[in-house]
A = this chain, B = another copy of it.
């Protein structure tokens, strides 16, 4: 399994603000799409996981905004897992513009929870296995 995941996101009007650049909260959307697609490529569909009482919540975000993304750019997101525990994991994600300039870097810590009671729970063994072989 590959150790990093690549994903691309197009910047639409919906993502920008009156400053002419991507609104800062929207980078968090882009990075979640990338994480979701990585899980999907590993065979883990989150709607199916929800039915098994497995959900994810973000516990911590540390985001550095180096330069702004702009309308209509095709952005690249590179993701890797930098910490993997029994009930949480941390992604390091980097967003680049079409010229390869680094725009945003972030560490995002995700906890696995039971969505009904919103309590922490262990990552499913199969997911843990698939992800740990990716570090």
Contact = CB atoms under 8 A, between A and B. Distances in A.
Given A18-B17, A32-B12, A72 B46 contact: yes
Contacts of A20: 18, 20, 115
A16 B28 CA distance: 15
A118 interface: yes
Interface residues of A, number: 39
Contacts of A26: 25
30 contacts: A10-B33, A13-B18, A13-B36, A14-B25, A14-B29, A16-B17, A16-B18, A18-B18, A18-B71, A19-B115, A20-B115, A21-B57, A24-B32, A24-B58, A24-B61, A25-B25, A25-B28, A25-B32, A46-B71, A57-B65, A58-B65, A59-B64, A59-B65, A60-B64, A60-B65, A61-B61, A61-B62, A62-B63, A63-B63, A68-B118
